[in-house]
Structure 1
Amino acid sequence: MNFFFENPKHEIYGIYGQSLAYAPHLHNHLELVGMIEGKAMAYVEEKVYEINSGDAFFIFPNQIHHYEKIADENYILLLFPMDILPEYTSVFHSKVPKSALIPGALKNRHVLRSMQEILALKDSTESGSYRDYLTKGYLLILFGQLFALSELEDTPHVDVQTVKLLLDYCIGHYKDEISLDQVATRLHLSKFYISHLFSQKLHLSYSDYIRSLRISEACRLLTETSLGITEISYQVGFPTPRTFNRAFLKYVGRTPREYRYQKKRPETIITIMEDH
């Protein structure tokens, strides 16, 4: 399970991916998934969705969400700041999708083509100074089509700032010994209220969330460094290597050693494809 951190830069992030699995998070960006093949579960606030081949799934800013992989996947993911599209500002600030899922959206040729072209333009040098204009044009077409295929409703009143404060604190301290009581004391919140937020908004317990952050960082260290597995287990916050191995197997489905071996093989995620 990976954690998707907020990207403060005013740029577009996009990938062709094969493992849609991100822990609960929220950010100020728009997020769009186009499931070309495969299946995944998605959670937005209190709602649960199943994303199937051909579906589109989009998240407005400051909506708590996460994903779980079900089957082999081939998808496109786009993430970008909403101020790139000032034409839709009033929509982004006051509306949210009644359903984040748009079944069969990729059958609309404008939707899939626009997503593919945005990725192709991202690192292209052929379009020169016109690349940004072309990208914005495809984004306008893309969301114009998605809005036409979906139903929007007024943004509900939720304590977004409290949830963001809680998640930010966990992200900054998950490597430490960080109990629910300690978090409640530091943030001046009731531990029962915190448990309620995790249960109702994130659909998992506080302890599961902390473990997911630790496992996510462990995956990064196993892939990007040569640190020993025991050292990694302590570095990400687990009290013992045995606890780390047990949690890693539960969340990732393989041991840390098996995961590192697999990741040393050729990468399966293509960040940019120039030809389609």
Structure 2
Amino acid sequence: MLIYEPHHFDLISNYDVINLNFPSHLHRCFELIFVVDGELEVMIEQRCFHLHTGQYLLILPNEIHSIVTKSQSRAKICIFSPDYIPTFQRMIETSSLEKPIFNLSLEAKTLISRTLFKDNLNLLEQKASLYLLLSELMSQTTLIKAEKKDSQLLHTMLTYIQDHFTEAISLNSIAVTLGYSYNYLSKYFNASVKTSFSDFLNGTRISYACHLLRTTEKNITEIAYLCGFENIRSFNRNFVKKTLCTPKEYREKIPLLYLDLHPVHNQLDTPYS
């Protein structure tokens, strides 16, 4: 079963993990892994990479990957939105990394240890650290044209949804845009993501709504329409279905949800539990 994680909107999420094992999944964000101790085996699009103590690895958006600990490992994971590094995102849109494993210079380690993998609210420092890290990565690898693969259609669909979920889209409109039949796309999507298109689309919209409720002062009705819902009733119904509380209750709990912005301290919320 392939897991798709539609969250992470304009945030950096940090995780401390021990003996991590996580099945095949993908998401719209970059994923940076640093092995503090031990070894990890990371499978990226059917390519296997072995990470050892002190090494870094970068997974690109929408790359299918899994993580296995065969003996023991302790690692730090930083998941960050493509919105943080638009220049690099444009560079790799149709490419993959020939070698995603890399090391950092002492100078880079000094800066990055202060700004990444920990709670740091200085956005400019975080972005500067990411670009420095990516610069060092690219000095140790090259970009290769992404190969056409069986999952390419899924990547195309997920990317389209991420780019247009705030609009009035439907599976039928996507089928017309991509040149496929509605019935074929419906069966393909259900089989690949193990959920219906409507549930997936609404889940993505609600994840974005949670982000807006946490980070803006926009009223709930405005947020509903900004997320792509046609009416407030549909928004409320789907919000309760996903979060088990109303948008108003969710916003009132924001002080308690502060840890959700920094999951490194909230192991109950982390997808890597």
TM-score range, shorter chain: 0.5 to 0.7
Q: Offset of 1:134 from its aligned partner?
A: 1.1
Unaligned runs of 5+ in 2: 159-182, 195-262, 266-273
Q: Aligned pair 1:150/2:141, yes or no?
A: yes
- Note the alpha carbon deviations across 1:188-226, whole angstroms, 9 max, x for none: 35x9xx7xx89xxxxxxx9xxxxxxxxxxxxxxxxxxxx
Moved more, 74-83 or 150-159: 150-159
Change (3 A) 1:137 1:155: same
Residue 123 of structure 2 is aligned with which of 111, 117, 132?
A: 132
Counterpart in 2 of 1:42? 42
Matches within 5 A, 1:101-250: 101-102=101-102, 105-106=103-104, 108-119=105-116, 122-123=119-120, 131-158=122-149, 159-162=151-154, 187-189=186-188
Letter in 2 for 1:33: I
Change (3 A) 1:86 1:132: same
2:128 and 2:93 mapped to 1: Cα distance? 21
Q: Is the 8 A contact 1:31 1:58 kept in 2?
A: yes
Change (3 A) 1:112 1:5: farther
Please state whether the residue corresponding to 1:150 is helix, strand or coil.
coil
Q: Is the 8 A contact 1:24 1:66 kept in 2?
A: yes
Q: Is the 8 A contact 2:85 2:131 kept in 1?
A: yes
Change (3 A) 1:89 1:145: same
Please state whether the residue corresponding to 2:139 is helix, strand or coil.
helix
Change (3 A) 1:89 1:164: closer
Q: Report the TM-score when normalising by structure 1.
A: 0.53
Q: Offset of 1:71 from its aligned partner?
A: 2.5
Q: Offset of 1:143 from its aligned partner?
A: 0.9
Unaligned runs of 5+ in 1: 125-130, 167-183, 199-205, 207-269
Please state whether the residue corresponding to 1:137 is helix, strand or coil.
helix
Q: Offset of 1:185 from its aligned partner?
A: 9.3
Q: Offset of 1:4 from its aligned partner?
A: 7.6
Q: Is the 8 A contact 2:78 2:117 kept in 1?
A: no
Counterpart in 2 of 1:271? 264
Q: Offset of 1:271 from its aligned partner?
A: 2.3
Counterpart in 2 of 1:251? none
Q: Report the TM-score when normalising by structure 2.
A: 0.53
Counterpart in 2 of 1:99? 99
- Note the alpha carbon deviations across 1:152-177, whole angstroms, 9 max, x for none: 212223333436879xxxxxxxxxxx
Counterpart in 2 of 1:231? none
Q: Offset of 1:142 from its aligned partner?
A: 1.0
Q: Is the 8 A contact 2:20 2:68 kept in 1?
A: yes
